[in-house]
Every structure is written in structure tokens, then in C-alpha cells.
Structure 1
Amino acid sequence: MRLSLIVAGIILMSANAYANTNLGQQLSNCAAKTDKLERLICYDELAANAKPSAHIMTTTNTTKVAPSEVPKPPATPNVVAPLVASPQVLSVDDFGLKTKVVEDEVDKVYFEVSAVKKAPYGELIITFTNGQVWKQSSPERYKVDKGQRIFIETGALNSFLLGTDDRNATTRVRRLK
């Protein structure tokens, strides 16, 4: 039984592959054209002549409908929306906030510490001279002093790392304000 299913599957796959060899030949003919416009026209003709695959042709409704009764899809306006938002420049004040989609993002920013507090579970809450407030999100101990110059850089998976140039260690932080 299992062997017959495997053989049937191989036969179906080979029949599908044989049917697609003509399409593959036509695609390679289009790809061989050196002029960009001729190549585009060739691909457009292939797409226009392509037959829908059997997977798309399956229907769940078996009732027959007269061609005059088939509802027409609503007309869509010919509006082209941009695929990518225009790039914005991220300033130091916006660093660490999740509200903006940015392509040209700052990787590392230096700050001077204005105040350091501890949260109830021992995490650092660091306020900088520009008013930003960051909280330590990793459990390790890390020493930060008032007036110290530190950096915050982007890490993996939209995380941020706090560190200093004097030390080789960093700690994960997240921005509160």
C-alpha cells in the first residue's frame, strides 16, 4: 500500500515537471534577451498566456451560474501606494523610542549621567542630562556614577546596550522616557 502511494506520488510529480519544461524553456528564452524592453515584453507575454494552475482552479461551490449572472468585482481606483515609507533621520532625542519606523538609524549615542536610582528589584534607573530615562532590563550588576559619560548602542532584536568606553562590559537597558 505504502509503495503504491509513493509510486503514484512520483508519477504525479514527474507529470507536473514534464508540463513545466515548456514554460522553463520559454523563461530561459526571455532571460537570454539582452535588451531590457524586449525582455520585459517577453515576460509580459508569458504571463498573459499562462494558464492558471490546477490549485487555483479548485472551487467549493458546484452550482452552475449563467455568465450574465456572475457578479463583477468592484472597480478599484488606479492608485499606486508607495511600498516603502520615506526614510527619516533619527535624532538623539528619539533614540530608543518604538514609535518611529526608521531606515537610517543611529547605532550608538553618548550621554552624560544626571542621576542614578535603583528600582525595587535592584535594576538601575538612569536619567541623562538631556532628560531621557533608561532602565536596566538585565539582572547583572553594573556600576554607573553621576556625571559619567556612557553610551547606548543598538543590540540584537531591537534591544539596547549601555556601556562605557573604559569597560568591556555592557548591560541591557530599555527606554522609559
Structure 2
Amino acid sequence: MNRQRGRPAPGSGVSRDEILDAALALLDEGGGQGLTMRALGRRLGVTAMSFYRHVGDHTGLLRALSDRVYATVLEQPAGEQDALAEMRGLLTRYHHAVASHPQLTLAIFATPEAFASVTRHITDRLTALLASVTDQPLLWRDILVDHAHGAGLAQGQTMTAQYQQALDCLLARLAAK
């Protein structure tokens, strides 16, 4: 394919949203190996260099995808909830995000520098909630997050009810301490 040299004409580039949409589709279709800047460029009909001002490098792209996919996890329904109910909601939303885009989670595992700001906020919020109900918040955080990852990666969206049942058992055990 012959491409013209130089900058594209104004308005002929791609937007950040288009880049993230196409990148997430590539991840969902082909896993972490399918998401390269060149493959993304082919998908969008532009050169790989077109992405760097929008998302930086590959790690920046993964961070941007993570922030987008996991942003809804921190959204809390109106009304006051106790810590356990808030944890249940947070972990349920997180499990849903992992199960919806398991390849993104695996790509982040493979590129720890891509651990994004939103996922850090999720971890910090969960840790704070756990600190209000147990003297072992880090242990319980790791158990609950690993459970969400494992269930989301292994089951996808097909076994959400079983995840909820297991999560409720874990939270009941936590509350009984």
C-alpha cells in the first residue's frame, strides 16, 4: 500500500475514541499478540505513528484501554451503603469488566507498567473498604481480586450467578470475623 509522505490533511486523522475502539476490538479478537501498533494502523488505514500523540506507546495504549473499560467499576449507585454492600457492588462491576474483555486483563498482566490509574483507584477503594471491616485488608484484597480475575477470565459472562454466589460466601466469611 502506498502512503503519502508528510502529515495528513486536517480532519483526515483518527480520533482517540476510534483508536481505542479499534484496539479493544483487536484485543478481543486476537489477544495480546494481535494488538500491535502496526495491526492497529492497518485496521484504521493509517500509519502506526498516527497513534503516538493520542496514546503514546503500546503501554500507553493499554493504560488508556484499561481506564476506559474499568471506569464504570468505580461508579457507585446513589444512596448510602455499608462497606460490604459497596464491596459487593465494586467487585461485581469489576468481574463484569474482566469477563467482558478478558484479553485486556491478560495484556495488563503481561505489561505491569500498563496498570492504569483507574485500576489503582479500584484497588485503593477496595483496600479502604476492607480496612473498615478487617485487620487483614491486604490479604482479603488479594483474595477477592484474584477471585474476580479467575472467575472473569475462566468463565466470561456465562457464569455470573456462580461468581455472585461465591462472592457472597467470601463476603459472609469476612463479615463473620
Instruction: Using structure 1 for the length normalisation, give the TM-score.
Output: 0.23
- Per residue, is there more strand in 1 or in 2? 1
Bigger relative contact order, structure 1 or 2 (CA pairs below 8 A, ≥6 apart): 2
- Per residue, is there more helix in 1 or in 2? 2
Instruction: Using structure 2 for the length normalisation, give the TM-score.
Output: 0.23
